[in-house]
Chains A and B, each alone.
Chain A
Amino acid sequence: MKFLARHILKGSRPFWLCLFGVTWVLSTYSFPLYKALDARWIIKFPKAWELQLDGWISAVMKWLVEDASFGLFSFRDLTRFISSLIEAPYQVVRSGLIDGFSTGQGQQAVEIAPSLSWIAIITILAALAFYAKDWVLAALVGGCFVYLAIFGQWESAMVTLASVIIAVPLGVVGGLLLGILAYLSPLAERMMRPVLDLMQTVPVFAYLVPILFLFGFGPVSALVATVIYAMPPMVRVSTVALQGVPTEIEEAGRMMGCSRRQMMWKVLVPSAMPTLMVGVNQVIMLSLNMVIIASMIGAGGLGYDVLTALRRLDIGGGIEAGLAIVALAIALDRLSQAFSTRTQDALPEPGLSYVKRHPWLVSVVLIMLGTGLAGLYLPAIQSYPESATLTTSAFWSDAMEWININFFDTFEAIKTFFLTYLLLPVKRFFSGVPWAWGIIAIGLAAWRVGGWKLGAMAALMALAIAASGLWAKAMITIYLCGVSVFLASVIGIPLGIWAGQNSRANSVIGAFIDTLQTLPSFVYLIPVVMLFRVGDFSAMIAVVLYALAPAVRYAAHGIREIEPEMIEAGKVSGCTKNQLLWRIKLPLATPSLLLGLNQTIMLALSMLVITALVGTRDLGQEVYIALTKANTGQGIIAGLAVAFIAITADRIVSAMARASRERLGLK
């Protein structure tokens, strides 16, 4: 970090020292100053100047739901229509996976057809994995689902899977269409970009509030939230993928006389397929993440199990459900990745019979039908027998208890150490900064890094946060985020550098980081709360774990991407290994490290909001409270405040990365 600082701040040290010095003095003496001058406005934004935006937003939402009308139908009709549109396929998928098809309501319900048997579902997924890659993947995917069955998580997992199965096609198709629109029309692209920026930085909880208000509590709201959350990356990936199609291929299409439609669907989209599949993988993983979080507004499934376990502090149950989520996430991730890298070798010989050309499809259908029929007589085939499930709940509870009894003092000592020497001093520093100076300081810093436009934008966003009466909470968010990002960098960058220089370390660290990144954010809370209970320290650990991945990845990438000639030049000049690292590799990897820092900040902010569940007092908590009270205005304003912090940080760090690339003469 010190090195980074030296490299970035080269030549402008006095400016930064002054800025920090003034801020520190004002932060330390703001309270005495307020007492001495009896000027409360120094530490608190005057109530009279506060914008009451949240009230207005809530009022508008209320009007929308209760009174708004488009002539022929009201707004409420519209949301109901959307609900029914999503509800119907969701019910079909859910019936097929777990509930079984039936007619009638409640007590009078008569089952017409059973759901797919657990054996059939596992077979389908394993066959897909084999089709996409090989036996190893089939075993992994099959194994993950067998795990779900044996450990009694089948039902919840299927509910979660049903939501994912509905959300993913919607997100992919919607994202692809919007991406195509942005590709075709620069105007649409310009209009979409800020919206996408905002959607990717607004914390997930903030989505939930208005959706809860519009669609009510239940799986449909959860699906709407999931689709909205998972779509933006697909839009981006689609545009980039289409732009990445070689010009020659597009020209070839035109010279062959493709109409516009043929051009898009026969030439551009298929040529962009490998990149598009990366987007599909992202949509799947984001959907899973959101379906878990959306259990707060009624998605049910594994997320709901974790949530209730967290609320009851049911250690064993929480870990069990968490591990089930991990199994599901790994299976879905590896499966969809295999599809995106799949290469078709040769077409099957024409002229063979259907069965011989599609041996897999035919056997899978046979197994589906066979187990379905057999399940009518042998219930164990239809659904995994409950008596044969294992529960590890007691084991985990005992293990945690044992750890807590034997290591309580150690954990307390660690916690107290971090609180006393890191968290509290930083918190005091940030909380003490008077809002007026805070706005000026952020503006100055941004101006110094990226010019007056960036400075003005940063100052305005800070002012907007202060004017919403959220200054104090925003400062807590910044402090927690800052500390977590600092720790994540301190741990992650050296790991990344190690991985970048050593291929064996790389394969181990890479696998570990890959797995960390596939886990839905909720999962991180479970062990942290178990070990450290609620509070800022627990939140910090969860955030560090979640935000570690980009720091490692980008550092490794930056080291690996250095031209071998540069390193050879260093060796020829007689550099020692250390000199090679500090004088050549790190300076050249700086742009990449900064990009990693940027990503780390973004992930940290998104996780920070979720840690509201373990009792922080920041903007995330504000959003969470709004969610529990279904207060749309409060939720949206606090969500926007987080987005503003994220956007400011993103622009500042990006400007630094750009400047350092230019300095190094990289493209």
Chain B
Amino acid sequence: MENSVKLDCRGVWKLYGPNPTAFLNKHGGNPDQDTMNKAQIIGAVRDANVQIHEGEIFVIMGLSGSGKSTLVRCLSRLVEPTAGHVEFEGRDLLSMPEAELIDVRRKKMGMVFQHFALLPHLTVLQNAAFPLDVQGVDRKTREARAHEMVELVGLKGRENYFPRQLSGGQQQRVGIARSLVAEPDLWFLDEPFSALDPLIRREMQDEFMRLQSMLRKTIIFITHDFDEAIRLADRIAVMKDGAIVQTATPEELILNPATDYVEEFTRHIPRAKVLRLATVMSPGAPEGNYAGDLQGGLSVADTVDQIEAESRPFRVINKNGEAIGTIDARTVIDVLIGRSGK
């Protein structure tokens, strides 16, 4: 990743229970599970380290109770971490005075919530305009801006509806419009599609990818759905019992799961859809007789018919057209049936 670090989180702990700060200090800032159990301390987040880069979609994945929601609240300082450092654009978020924090949130951050968190007494338009209202932007400007956002998320014509008159998917579109209206740099999405039906969820994921291709935000996305994580993420952090088990790209997770726990998730993922040619190819491209050239960014699933139909291997090229490796039908079959050793 050559892009600069937008949000840097180091050694963040969040403990619940009697006097957690003293407890953490007493155990050298790194207590183990047994000592925590004895002291009736619950480790919601344990020694979390994440660096989120400009323009990437960073997914935090974990089952319920794994601490992912608490972690994202530590990153946005909705929850005060017990220990650790969080830096946003090089500024220390945790020691920031309230006025400055409010300013950062108003101008630089946006957040989408699992249950939408729309204000029930405001219309769609007023909800979308609310962050600007809070900033003191005059009515005309903020409503014009909110109109744009409502249109962007595909709710044009429903500006005067109240949230309860909308379906779940539509309500979350309002939530998205609201979180984007102030043009934030850092966009938090806390399980935004978990409360929706599977079909709508799929549709909203597509919508999300469409928006991101236009807006290029830096995104922290929380989910308990591994499929969703694989589908959307540039990088994924898998959490278990408050700790981050592995941080990696979707492909790395599938190819080299760090623990059995991670492997358990990856087992049912169709590998061919995730793995790209550049990852599974045999590196190096000697001169020879090739069936053709294929882009390294393509997934195995997209190219399998083509490769299988040929007895000769294909050459894999990168964006600049340089040959970087070769791939043949045998490798592809290995991937498809999940035979290890690549």
Q: Which residues of A come within 8 Å of B, CB atoms?
A: 246, 248-249, 251-252, 254-259, 262, 266-267, 270-271, 273, 343-347
B114 within 8 A of A: yes
Q: Is the CB of B121 within 8 A of A270?
A: yes
Q: List 24 A-B contacts (CB under 8 A).
A: A248-B116, A248-B117, A249-B117, A249-B119, A251-B113, A251-B117, A255-B111, A255-B188, A256-B105, A256-B131, A257-B102, A257-B105, A257-B107, A259-B134, A266-B130, A266-B133, A267-B119, A270-B121, A271-B120, A271-B121, A273-B120, A273-B121, A343-B162, A344-B162
B160 within 8 A of A: yes
Q: Is the CB of A347 within 8 A of B160?
A: yes
Residues on B with beta carbons closer than 8 Å to the beta carbon of A267: 119
Name the interface residues of B74-116: CB closer than 8 Å to any CB of A. Answer: 76, 78, 102-107, 109-111, 113-116
Please report the C-alpha to C-alpha distance between residue A258 and residue B136 in the assembled complex, in whole angstroms.
11
B119 touches which one: A251, A271, A345 (CB < 8 A)? A271
B77 to A: closest C-beta gap in Å:
9
- SS class of chain A's interface: helix, strand, loop or mixed? helix
Residues on B with beta carbons closer than 8 Å to the beta carbon of A270: 119-122
B123 within 8 A of A: yes
Please report the C-alpha to C-alpha distance between residue A252 and residue B182 in the assembled complex, in whole angstroms.
14
Name the interface residues of B33-83: CB closer than 8 Å to any CB of A. Answer: 73, 76, 78
Q: Is the CB of B119 within 8 A of A257?
A: no
B161 within 8 A of A: yes
A252 touches which one: B103, B113, B120 (CB < 8 A)? B113
Residues on A with beta carbons closer than 8 Å to the beta carbon of B178: 256
Q: Is the CB of A248 within 8 A of B161?
A: no
Given contacts A248-B116, A255-B109, A262-B134, 10 further A-B contacts (CB under 8 A): A251-B113, A255-B110, A256-B182, A257-B103, A257-B105, A270-B120, A271-B119, A271-B121, A273-B120, A343-B162
Please report the C-alpha to C-alpha distance between residue A188 and residue B115 in the assembled complex, in whole angstroms.
31
Q: Number of B residues whose C-beta is below 8 Å from A?
A: 34
A268 to B: closest C-beta gap in Å:
10
B318 within 8 A of A: no
Q: Is the CB of A257 within 8 A of B131?
A: yes
The proximity string for B residues 128-166 relative to A, scoring 1 for CB distances below 8 Å and 0 otherwise, is 001101110000000000000000000000001110100
Q: Is the CB of B113 within 8 A of A248?
A: yes
- CB nearest to B181 among chain A residues: A256
A275 to B: closest C-beta gap in Å:
12
- CB nearest to B162 among chain A residues: A344
Q: Is the CB of B117 within 8 A of A256?
A: no
B160 touches which one: A248, A258, A346 (CB < 8 A)? A346
Residues on A with beta carbons closer than 8 Å to the beta carbon of B73: 251
Name the 4 nearest CB pairs between A and B, nearest first: A257-B106, A252-B117, A248-B117, A257-B105
Q: Is the CB of A254 within 8 A of B115?
A: no
Q: Is the CB of A347 within 8 A of B121?
A: no
Residues on B with beta carbons closer than 8 Å to the beta carbon of A255: 76, 78, 105, 109-111, 188
A269 to B: closest C-beta gap in Å:
10
A349 to B: closest C-beta gap in Å:
9
- CB nearest to B127 among chain A residues: A252
Identify the interface centre among B73, B109, B117: most chain A CB within 10 Å of its CB.
B117
Identify the interface centre among A246, A252, A343, A344: most chain B CB within 10 Å of its CB.
A252
Q: Is the CB of B106 within 8 A of A246?
A: no
Please report the C-alpha to C-alpha distance between residue A618 and residue B182 in the assembled complex, in whole angstroms.
67
B261 to A: closest C-beta gap in Å:
29
Residues on B with beta carbons closer than 8 Å to the beta carbon of A273: 120-121
B51 to A: closest C-beta gap in Å:
21
Contact A248 to B115, CB < 8 A, known contacts A255-B76, A256-B134: yes
Please report the C-alpha to C-alpha distance between residue A221 and residue B49 in the assembled complex, in whole angstroms.
65
- CB nearest to A262 among chain B residues: B134
Contact A256 to B106, CB < 8 A, known contacts A271-B120, A271-B121: yes
Residues on A with beta carbons closer than 8 Å to the beta carbon of B106: 256-257
Please report the C-alpha to C-alpha distance between residue A345 and residue B120 in the assembled complex, in whole angstroms.
12
- CB nearest to B113 among chain A residues: A248
- CB nearest to A267 among chain B residues: B119
- CB nearest to A250 among chain B residues: B117
A32 to B: closest C-beta gap in Å:
59
Residues on A with beta carbons closer than 8 Å to the beta carbon of B107: 257
Please report the C-alpha to C-alpha distance between residue A284 and residue B102 in the assembled complex, in whole angstroms.
39
Residues on B with beta carbons closer than 8 Å to the beta carbon of A266: 130, 133-134
A575 to B: closest C-beta gap in Å:
38
Residues on A with beta carbons closer than 8 Å to the beta carbon of B117: 246, 248-249, 251-252
A346 to B: closest C-beta gap in Å:
5
Residues on A with beta carbons closer than 8 Å to the beta carbon of B119: 249, 267, 270-271
Q: Is the CB of B115 within 8 A of A246?
A: yes
Please report the C-alpha to C-alpha distance between residue A251 and residue B105 in the assembled complex, in whole angstroms.
12
Q: Is the CB of B115 within 8 A of A252?
A: no
Residues on B with beta carbons closer than 8 Å to the beta carbon of A254: 78, 105
A259 touches which one: B102, B111, B130 (CB < 8 A)? B102
A637 to B: closest C-beta gap in Å:
43
Please report the C-alpha to C-alpha distance between residue A266 and residue B120 in the assembled complex, in whole angstroms.
11
Residues on A with beta carbons closer than 8 Å to the beta carbon of B116: 248
B172 to A: closest C-beta gap in Å:
12
